[in-house]
Amino acid sequence: MWGDNGNGISVYNPPEGSWVQSLQVTDDGIGGAILSWFRSTEINNEGNNGQKTQNWDIFTQKIDGNGNILWQPGGVSLKISETDKQAAPSNPVITSDNSSGAIIAWRDSRDSGANSASVYAQRLDADGDLKWDAGGIKVSIDVS
């Protein structure tokens, strides 16, 4: 059992003004797990008359079979909003890449409008390095 007295471990502690949802998990193929989650963080936007905006992104973390966190503290960002300010990721899903890494796919309306979206994906290797373009690659268009 992981953690003190079998109470579990903390893989992520969201910053103030953030909310997290859509936790997903997959087997890493060597006794551990890779997790992904969606995070929205409220940002003070001084260039926009001080109005607050949201930064949306998807994060991942790898845990070994002993409960040790293997990737960077706070998880690995897929750099979605950092790459495209119009990005609106949601509903991430994760699967193993059969090489101790993972592929994460999500719905994103960054270039499709409010009533439809495209599907984007990103692959992370066993070390948590992004293998495809930062922000993901488009794998389908205009799904409802």
The model's pTM is: 0.82
Backbone angles phi, psi at 108, to 5 degrees: -150, 125
At residue 50, the pLDDT reads: 61
In this structure, what DSSP letter does residue 4 have? G
Instruction: Kindly list the averaged pLDDT for each block of 10 residues, start to end, along the chain of length 144.
Output: 60 66 90 90 64 78 93 91 83 95 92 78 97 92 68
At residue 21, the pLDDT reads: 73
At residue 9, the pLDDT reads: 67
At residue 1, the pLDDT reads: 46
Task: Choose among 128, 127, 126, 109: nearest CA to 118.
Answer: 109
